[in-house]
Structure 1
Amino acid sequence: MLKFKSNIALPPPTALVLISIASTQLGSAIAKPIIQELGATTTVLLRVGLGAIALLLLQRPQLKGYTRKDYLLLVMFGLGMAAMNLSFYAAIARIPIGIAVTLEFVGPLAVACANSRQLLDLLWIFLAGVGIFLLAPIQGSRLDPLGVAYALLAAFFWGSYILLSARVGKVFAEISGVALMSAALTAGTLGLLPISILSGGLTRLEPRFLAIGLAVAILSSVIPYTFELEALKKLPVRIFGVLMSLEPAIAALLGFIILQEQLELQSIIAIALVTLASVGASAFEKRRLK
């Protein structure tokens, strides 16, 4: 596992989370032009596959002694992660990154509200619902309906990823997070490979794509996983959730700066509403998560 030497001054945990978010969305912004040339499947394959190799170099997972059911759970986790990334990349090929991330955030928000019985959660559901309605491809909206559908599919897989990660964490409690992630990414790579071959994306690979794919893998996989694990050692889960809720806004900002993605006022309001709902759901989550 990636270890930080004690003589190296790390940023505070809140900064690590924010760097992780910015790194993830920077990786998405860099990946978007490649999607137009290679397709979403092959681009995700580069991210997941090269990310798996990088994490395996950091730490190889020791997975002996588990049952077939346990291994199947880990494979499902990896395939679900691959499906989540594939749906998201298919979405950002058609709609702005900020909007795609906002719609994708419906997944973790739904899981957070479903696991709580607080009356206040109705407010967060309402705010998120209004935001989604504003982003719906109706009433003359210029958003690609298929892109919106892919983003909502990514939301479903993100919600499933959260539920599966909790189960995987319990079953493989003695395995480090980085080692587990490397195994999951390997499973996802094997699942994506035949789809990429059939789509013909691998035939268009060039050295420059491999270089950019490695950058995307480091930015969107290696840095976020290691930084978030380090931050969670000192940061309450509730605060971590609040910080992660800023992701739609950061994604929209980076999409504007790097890709010049212009957003209508209606979309900006929608992003603000979903972000507020996510912050609220995390900030007021039951104290048991402290």
Structure 2
Amino acid sequence: MTLNKTVLLAVLSVLLAMVTIQTGASIAKQLFPLIGPTGTTALRVGFSALMLWLVFRPWRQLPRGRNWRAVIIYGGCLGGMNILFYMAIERIPLGIGVALEFTGPLAVALLSSRRKTDLVWVVLALGGILLLLPDMRGVDALDPVGVALALAAGACWAGYILFGQRAGNLTSGGATVALGMTVAACYLVPLGVYTAGWDLLSWQVLPLGIAVAVLSSALPYSLEMVALKRLPAQSFSVLMSMEPAIAAVAGLLILSELLSVSQWLAIALVIAASLGSTLSTRSQQKP
């Protein structure tokens, strides 16, 4: 596969992952009144781990010795990102939660930047995120706990990117995701069972839980691992700046949330940042 095709595959993988994640998040929010964000996270992570083990069979290429440390930290960040984000969007709107969570990948992009042109894309992405945020002093001010949870999820997202790359270099991408999801399931599933009990297996909940697992974890994290193995951490992070825009579009199409002029401008800014990062990566890889 040529370098250009490799970059294109990575970019398409990231875009598809973001679309499926936002679709899954919309379904997941419908489960909160039934089993809460903790129970929803348990179903998402638990079923995802089972699916990934069946598909990628990670027992054939397990890490050895100290290599497990990167996998365990990666899995811990993955699980923390999931549960903190769901706890956040229980209190604040989906699109705003995604925008706040993105502070993690944005920090990775900023700290790993080595060229002045890279900072331009980061600034554009940051401008788009700020436009997506409402006035915290107004009557519609966000729940401060929800804001804090979304920012904590962003910190876990940053760890997911950095340790995902390290863990992905130890074995195949699919096996890495399967192992990381298993680590997350080891502490999130018992927590979900404790809070939601047998409601997790009710006929109203179970089909939606499986759908959330596929759309929000099993499929997108596998796609993201494909991208992480083919893109630098900085380029991957700026590409992920499209996440708030996709969340806003999902809100319009699925939840009938109308977008303001400033929100459309924000979408344009983050798309510009993503395209700029992609083109920069492509030109850098040319011989």
- Which band: TM-score by shorter chain? 0.7 to 0.9
1:92-137 per-residue CA deviation (whole Å, 9 max, x = no partner) reads: 2222222222222222122122111323444445445545555265
**Equivalent residue number for residue 162 of structure 2:** 163
**Equivalent residue number for residue 6 of structure 1:** none
Q: Which runs of 5+ in 2 are unaligned?
A: 1-7
* 2:185 aligned residue (173, 184, 189): 189
For 1:170-209, list aligned pairs within 5 A: 170=169, 172=170, 175-198=171-194, 200-205=195-200, 206-209=202-205
- Distance change >3 Å, CA 281–CA 85, structure 1 → 2: same
1:147-195 per-residue CA deviation (whole Å, 9 max, x = no partner) reads: 222222111111111111122123x2xx211111111111101111333
For 1:1-290, list aligned pairs within 5 A: 13=9, 17-61=14-58, 62-64=60-62, 66-67=64-65, 69-134=66-131, 135=133, 138-140=136-138, 142=140, 143-170=142-169, 172=170, 175-198=171-194, 200-205=195-200, 206-228=202-224, 244-284=240-280
Q: Structure 1 vs Structure 2: percent identity of aligned residues?
A: 42
- Distance change >3 Å, CA 115–CA 240, structure 1 → 2: closer
Q: Which runs of 5+ in 1 are unaligned?
A: 1-11
Q: What is the CA–CA distance in structure 1 between the aligned matches of 2:30 and 2:63, rounded to whole Å?
A: 43
Deviation at 1:80, TM superposition (A): 1.0
Deviation at 1:280, TM superposition (A): 3.9
Q: What is the CA–CA distance in structure 2 between the aligned matches of 1:266 and 1:22, rounded to whole Å?
A: 22
RMSD between superposed Cα atoms in Å: 3.2
Paired letter, 2:99: T
Identify the structure with the greater helix proportion. Answer: 2
Maintained 8 Å contact 1:102/1:271 = no
Deviation at 1:27, TM superposition (A): 0.7
Paired letter, 2:199: R
Paired letter, 1:138: M
TM-score, scaled to structure 2: 0.80
Maintained 8 Å contact 2:235/2:281 = no
Number of residues of Structure 1 aligned to a counterpart in Structure 2 = 273
TM-score, scaled to structure 1: 0.79
